[in-house]
Amino acid sequence: PTVMAGRWDQALAAEHAAALKIFDLLEKTDDRAKGRRAFLLMQLKHAIGKHAFQEENVVYAKMRGEGLTDAADHLNHEHGYVKQYFFDLTEMDKSDPAWLPKLKEFRALIESHMREEEDDLFPKLREQLTDEQNRHITAAMNKEGLKLA
């Protein structure tokens, strides 16, 4: 669980890695695996939904409070497209030959979003905060995650 991962940014990176593993499993399916696709998509939606809830309610809010408003708004905006991809993939017939290409398009967006967070924006925020503030963000984020666990 996220709470075991340590610092808030490490926990979010661990969740990113877990989501990518689900993408890997989905990408190994073929058009006949309708049930497996539906089940894995549901798991991915739950994992990313919890993750986004933590980011939006704690991390992005703290980013705005620390002067990283444009970056937080950009990340939040991308979360809207994540929800759109989930809607589209859920609505599509899981045997549709266009389903897997759509999933791969979605993964490209997610991976770009994750790299931006992990390589640039989260380190920037973490460095702006004191150790106490980072501990507080970790605790607050974990508390938010437990609401959806």
| 12-37 pLDDT tens trace | 999 999 999 999 999 999 999 999 99
Cα–Cα distance, 95 to 32 (Å, whole number)? 6
Determine the average pLDDT of the residues in 111-140.
Answer: 96
Computed on alpha carbons and rounded to an integer, the radius of gyration of the chain in Å comes to: 16
pTM: 0.93
pLDDT at 5 over 80: no
> Residue 2's pLDDT band (boundaries 50, 70, 90)?
low
Residue type, 36: R
Q: To 10 degrees, the CA torsion angle through 38, 39, 42, 46?
A: -170
| pLDDT (tens digit per residue) in 80-106 | 999 999 999 999 999 999 999 999 999
Q: Are 102 and 93 in contact (CB under 8 A)?
A: no
Q: Are 136 and 144 in contact (CB under 8 A)?
A: no
Q: According to the model, what pLDDT value does residue 91 have? A: 98
pLDDT at 66 over 80: yes
Residue 5: DSSP 8-state? G
Among residues 24, 32, 23, the alpha carbon closest in space to that of 86 is found at: 23
Query: Average per-residue pLDDT in the chain?
Result: 95
